[in-house]
Amino acid sequence: MISPRTNAALKEWAIVCRDLADGRQTLLIRKGGIEEIKAGFQVFHRDFWLFPTYVHQNATDLVPAVHAEFEEVQSVMRD
């Protein structure tokens, strides 16, 4: 269980956050980022929250089987 005091979050597509929460996706792999150390990758936060974002989602980057669900998630942003 994540401590409520954890202040680290990973911004991820809302569709991915939803599928992780529903158990339809079980793995999310990320490495590096803006502040990656030149000497190699290091894990700073073992616990983190997921922060769903809608800005950079793109249906063409998803398998066709989830396009309808993608449109449903996108509608949250438009409402």
Interval 14-41: pLDDT, tens: 888 988 999 988 988 876 666 666 777 6
Is residue 31 in a domain? yes
Q: Report if residue 56 sits inside a domain.
A: yes
User: Is residue 2, in this structure, part of any structural domain at all?
Assistant: no
Phi, psi of 46 (to 5 degrees): -80, -25
Within a domain: 1:
no
The domain tally of the chain equals 1
Whether 65 maps to a domain, the answer reads yes
Kindly state whether residue 3 falls inside one of the protein's structural domains: no
For the purposes of burial, counting CB atoms within 10 Å of the CB of 19, is it exposed (0-12), middle (13-18) or buried (19 or more)? middle
Question: What does the mean pLDDT of the chain come to?
Answer: 82
pLDDT at 2 over 80: no
Domain of residue 25 covers 9-78
Residue 17 lies in a domain: yes
- pLDDT of 34 reads 65
Tokens of 42: 């290091």
Residue 70 lies in a domain: yes
